[in-house]
Amino acid sequence: MSYRFLLDENIPRRIYRVLKEHGYHVEYVPKGVDDETVINIARERNLLLITRDSDFADEIMYPPGSHPGIIILRVHPAIPRLLLEKLLKALDSVKDIKRKLIIVYNDRIEVIE
């Protein structure tokens, strides 16, 4: 399945490059925009958001189904290699991430529908 992603400003550029190499459509959030603007960009462009910002885990503010999908990387240490490894594992193991909240930890992946 081919996904289209919006990367939050806290996501390393290496992840952008690797996702592009894997054939995904990838865009970056403009620097300095607030969370509401970020989620609105994702909705308007139908892009799945990839972020490290745990504010997007708030199911009251961002309930699953109300957005194209959110992937939160809660990986420590937050080095690009490890973030990328865990993200690619999540993309490979979760069958359909659209309209869901996916929280990626070092040792597990949580899917909230």
Task: Tell me the C-alpha distance between 28 and 90, whole Å.
Answer: 20
This model's pTM is above 0.85: yes
Complete DSSP assignment for 20-45: HHTT-EEEEPPTT--HHHHHHHHHHH
**Residue ranges covered by each domain of the chain:** 4-112
Predicted pLDDT at 14? 96
Could you tell me the fold of the domain covering 4-112?
Rossmann fold (3.40.50)
Predicted pLDDT at 1? 58
Task: Tell me the C-alpha distance between 80 and 10, whole Å.
Answer: 11
pLDDT tens-place values along the chain, 113 residues long: 589 999 999 999 999 999 999 999 999 998 999 999 999 999 999 999 999 999 999 999 999 999 999 999 999 999 999 999 999 999 999 989 999 999 999 999 999 99
